[in-house]
Amino acid sequence: MPAPLSRLAVRLADTGPVLVLAAIAGAGSFTHIRDTAAASGQTGWMSWAVAVCVDLTCVMAARERQRDKKAGRMRRGWISWPTLVLVAGIVLSLAANLHQADPTLWGWLTAATPAGAFLVAVSMLERRASGPRPNPSPAPSSSAVPSPSPVAASSSVPALVPSEPDGRDGNQDGPGPSPALVDYARRVADEHHAKHGKPITRDLLRARLGVSNQLASDLLRTLRTTPDAL
């Protein structure tokens, strides 16, 4: 048997007897209330209306009690309004059923059986509907999710680390640009010269490399003093 049909069969086997009991007991209680209303002068469709009102009031009050439990609504007085309505419906239903009974102990018991069974079935359905539900598993906290390790952004510009003077430029008083930065600046200058047909200026070199004016001037001076400079 497929899984959906199997679950449906289990649910019907679980709630079916209670629903059948509620239907049969409700029909018996309905008949007693209708006959009592007709004997009390409410003839025709009014007797049916009275019976429907009494039985459905009990069902409505039971459902409202269930909603209050789910919503966590606190009772303000010694009894809640749905409970008071349910008690009133039970009293009316039992009174109508006992009115149709023979004035004997067994007559009263048998007449009260449909109303009692109907109320028991309604209370069972209410109890099942308001039963505890499994708590959903807590969502994993953000701290449990490993954050991706930051990837260092690679830069196409070499580090601006000055190198020790190599003695080739006697005009420099201190350390000059690093050889890697000089090579990169040379490639930039060569590309500019090949594209525009003229040497690169200090401002253009500074903008391309993102360095200071002083370092751009030092790079241009180094490129012009080396043998393969522009």
Determine the distance from the C-alpha atom of residue 63 to the mean position of all C-alpha atoms in its chain, rounded to a whole number.
26
Instruction: Indicate the length of the chain as a whole number.
Output: 230
pLDDT tier, 46 (very low <50, low <70, confident <90, very high otherwise)? very high
The pLDDT assigned to 107 comes to 87
- With 0-12 / 13-18 / 19 or more C-beta atoms within 10 angstroms meaning exposed / middle / buried, residue 220 is buried
Contact 201, 217 (CB under 8 A): no
d(CA 58, CA 125): 13
CA dihedral 217, 219, 225, 226 (to 10 degrees): -170
Number of neighbours of residue 111 by Cβ within 10 angstroms: 20
Tens of pLDDT, residue by residue over 104-158, are 888 888 888 877 787 787 777 777 766 555 555 555 554 554 554 444 444 455 5
Tokens of 107: 């007559």
Tokens of 12: 């019907």
196 SS3 class: helix
pLDDT tier, 48 (very low <50, low <70, confident <90, very high otherwise)? very high
- State mean pLDDT over 95-110: 85
Reported as type and span, the H/E element at residue 186 is helix 179-196
Amino acid sitting at position 17: P
Tell me the average pLDDT of the chain: 75
Has residue 180 got a pLDDT over 70?
yes
Where b means 16+ CB within 10 Å and e means fewer, 146-168 reads: eeeeeeeeeeeebeeeeeeeeee
* CA-only gyration radius of the chain, Å: 47
d(CA 128, CA 21): 15
